[in-house]
Amino acid sequence: MKIEIWSIGKTKEGYLQSGETLYLKRIKNYHTAELVLFKEPKTGKSNASQVKKLESEVFLKSLQPDDYVILLDEHGKQFDSVGFARQIQKWFNQSPRRLIFIIGGAWGFDSSLKMRSNFEMSLSKMTFTHQMVRLIFLEQLYRAFTILNNEPYHNT
């Protein structure tokens, strides 16, 4: 089983890129994981709801029927870090071919993608830039593996 983190658009800020690279490398000590950044669709003069739809279509087109899909959405279920680690273990137990976490753009997800998804989770009630969400999520994923392996990173 492979973990993939999907998002749209390159990480523009160099400092965030460095952080992503750092945590991806750490995560790979535990599990195969990849950050997949899709090309932004041409949105032209689209309004928020149209942009959301176009972005969600980019993701939908690349999904396969046996992918387990988790959307990161501020209205999704909140976990604490230990709870998130336990939930990851549960998803692992279901052994999907791919466990895909999708980080939406500024306008969130279209209902078409919400319908297809298996789970919605939230990192915070607060709105972060989606580029910063990538870093925050990768750090939590790394933390989850250290928790599942009883390693001392959590709480240091």
CA dist 73 and 46 (Å) reads 22
Told to check if 24 binds its own copies by CB under 8 A, we report no
One residue of 30, 38, 68, 79 binding its own copies per CB under 8 A: 79
Strand, helix or coil at 53?
Answer: helix
| Residue 106 touches its own copies, criterion: CB under 8 A | yes
Please identify which residue in 2, 9, 10, 13 interacts with its own copies, judged by CB under 8 A.
Answer: 13
The crossing angle, in degrees rounded to 10, of helices 130-148 and 14-27 is: 20
Stretch that binds its own copies, among 18-26, 30-38, 57-65, 96-104 (CB under 8 A): 18-26
**Out of 60, 98, 107, 112, the residue judged to bind its own copies by CB under 8 A:** 107
We find the least distance from the C-beta atom of residue 147 to its own copies, in angstroms, to be: 10
Q: Side chain identity at 113, as an amino acid letter?
A: L
Q: Are 149 and 89 in contact (CB under 8 A)?
A: no
3-class SS at 15?
helix
Around 48, how many Cα atoms within 13 Å sit in the side-chain half-sphere?
Answer: 5
Q: Which of 74, 87, 91, 118 binds its own copies (CB under 8 A)?
A: 74
Which of 39, 65, 66, 80: binder of its own copies (CB under 8 A)?
80
Tokens read off for 88: 């990851």
> Rounded CA gap, 110 and 54, in Å?
9
Which residues contact its own copies by CB under 8 A? 13-16, 18-19, 22, 74, 78-81, 83-84, 106-107, 123-129, 132, 135-136, 139-140, 143, 154-156
